[in-house]
Amino acid sequence: MTGLDRPRRLRRTPAMRRLVAETTLEPRQLVLPMFVADGLEEPRAISSMPGVLQHSMDSLRKAAVEAVTAGVGGLMLFGVPRHEDKDATGSQASDPDGILNRGLRALADEVGDSTVIMADTCLDEFTDHGHCGVLGPDGSVDNDATLHRYVEMALAQAAAGADLLGTSGMMDGQVGAIRRGLDAVGRTDTGILAYAAKYASAFYGPFREAVASSLEGDRRSYQQDPANRREAIRELQLDLAEGADIVMVKPAMSYLDILRDVADHSTVPVAAYQISGEYAMITAAAERGWIDRRGAILESLMGIRRAGADIVLTYWATEAAHWLS
């Protein structure tokens, strides 16, 4: 057995494994997605995402402080308007008094510059048809009319205190339109977190409950086809050329190959979103005793980091940050 190559020497003890670890997982690399719902006095549970809440304004502030204290790198906020406030153009999205913009101001007031405040810059929560943009006469999403609404939404979010705007709608030219709109009014310091590769996934289901989505049909005419890999790099290159500050892949779990491709080609930081369906699957299996919950959560996050994500959006951000601290 002399001369045998023995890689196990570097796995022998926890100290040795820590010394040679190739990938790290730290609280600062995690971002917590949060939901704030209009008209709530108390937080409301989301049945398909046990442990995740639609927040009232008060509980939003408290959860934000807990996350920041745990060391998470950022907060991504989604707004949930009342059903009667939705309309065809998602007017609540750009209303300074709309629920999302009120929530952003609350976060800015509560945690300030101690974390990075991010906003979902998309219309789907606010439209009565549930699509991510304005519909044309034929019922399809009108790309260029939607860009106009995105700019209005972006300006309202920047004024409310968002540091980064999450362009999740997958409209052609959305990053460039928002960048020009921000720069035109002097908002040159507001950054863009571009959803460069966002796929039409079956794993978004629980999120639809979380935002009380009104969607009928699907979003396959604007989100990417799960069959396509090269297309993600085309989208990445366009977003970079239009001024993206950070790019993101969504979902994470079923698209780790895409994440690796994007990380290999990107000149800016890369994020990945561990989405609602991923959260729900691990949670359900752990509740049934089929997997070790903590181990599965940390392993899944490490896998996303190993595939190339500098930043991971996860509903476990605060809890994982406590474990890692």
Residue 87 backbone phi and psi in degrees, to 5? -150, -175
Per annotation, catalytic residue among 239, 250, 259, 282: 250
The reported pLDDT for the residue numbered 213 is 87
pTM: 0.96
How many of the other CB atoms lie within 10 Å of CB of 73?
23
What is the percent of the chain with per-residue pLDDT over 70, rounded to a whole number?
A: 100
The reported pLDDT for the residue numbered 215 is 83
Per annotation, catalytic residue among 198, 204, 236, 308: 198
The reported pLDDT for the residue numbered 205 is 86
For the chain, give the longest Cα–Cα distance.
77
198 catalytic residue (yes or no)? yes
The reported pLDDT for the residue numbered 1 is 62
Residues 56 and 40 sit within 8 Å (Cβ to Cβ): yes
* Mean of per-residue pLDDT scores for the chain: 96
Please state, in angstroms and rounded to a whole number, the distance separating the CA atoms of residues 12 and 16.
7
86 catalytic residue (yes or no)? no
**Three-state DSSP class for residue 150:** helix
3 has a pLDDT exceeding 80: no
For residue 73, the 8-state DSSP code is S
Please state, in angstroms and rounded to a whole number, the distance separating the CA atoms of residues 113 and 104.
13
How many of the other CB atoms lie within 10 Å of CB of 184?
11
What is the percent of the chain with per-residue pLDDT over 90, rounded to a whole number?
A: 94
